[in-house]
A = this chain, B = another copy of it.
Amino acid sequence: MSNSKLYKGSLNTIILKLLNEQDKMYGYEITQKVKALTKGELNITEGALYPALHKLEAEGLLDVEVAKVDNRLRKYYKLTETGTKETANKLNELAEYIKTMQALVSPKLA
């Protein structure tokens, strides 16, 4: 995924946020989109991505829809209503995390 361990725990947030923007995406598309958006910084591995998608689906945050394009399989994922709410939560948590970490590493007023 990256040389830094900090990305641990942020995969779900990334997936949900992308699906919040793009409406529907398939797995491989997510890996490519993340690579592009981060200029190669972040490479989501398949071993992390697919189990994560399956779990989000099992939890009712994602719906899946199978399609066949160019004789190849694609599984399109999209947010459920619950998934949309959870996306908002995750983004708040990320903002909170960043604020907290900045307070810890640059404690200007502490």
Give per-residue flags for A1-37: 1 if the beta carbon is below 8 A from chain B beta carbons, else 0: 0011111111011100110010000000000001011
Chain B residues with CB under 8 A of A36: 110
Asked whether, in the complex, the Cβ of A104 is within 8 Å of the Cβ of B4, the reply is no
Asked whether, in the complex, the Cβ of B37 is within 8 Å of the Cβ of A4, the reply is no
Secondary structure type dominating chain A contacts = helix
**Copies of the polypeptide in the assembly:** 2
How many residues of A sit at the interface, in one of the four size bands? Answer: 20 to 34
Asked whether, in the complex, the Cβ of A94 is within 8 Å of the Cβ of B101, the reply is yes
Tell me, yes or no, whether A103 is within 8 Å of chain B by CB: yes
Chain B residues with CB under 8 A of A38: 100, 103-104
Measured CB to CB, the residues of A under 8 A from B are: 3-10, 12-14, 17-18, 21, 34, 36-38, 41-42, 91, 93-94, 96-98, 100-105, 107, 110
